Amino acid sequence: QVQLVESGGGLVQAWESLTLSCAVSTSRFSSTDMGWYRQTPGKQRELVATFISGDSAVYADSVKGRFTISRINGKNTVDLELNSLKPEDTAVYYCRAIMGTRELWGQGTQVTVSS
């Protein structure tokens, strides 16, 4: 059974940085579509960043220039580097994998940014 496990969340102050990591237990990681999403209470889950083709990625306008998504196929991980964090970045961050017709989610990791 494929599992996604996020780590790296925490409490930081505005303008600080964090790196989130998602470990995926699959032998087909290199062909798996990966992305990061986030959700705050009362709101729908929203895209933060996702790979669209090879190493090409798209980002939400609100995080462009501040966040960077990367994947390490040899380690089956996809990271999200969060820089210049703002209080409005506070959310639960989720890793998502698309494997064929299957959509898989991790359990989420909380990021809290204080002003």
Query: pLDDT of 49-100, one tens digit each?
Result: 999 877 899 999 999 999 999 999 889 999 999 999 999 999 999 999 998 8
CA distance 82 to 2: 26
> Does 38 score more than 80 pLDDT?
yes
CA distance 35 to 31: 13
Residue 53 C-beta-side C-alpha neighbours within 13 Å = 0
101-113 burial: b if 16+ Cβ within 10 Å, else e: eeebebebbebeb
Per-residue pLDDT averaged across 94-112, rounded?
95
CA distance 77 to 21: 7
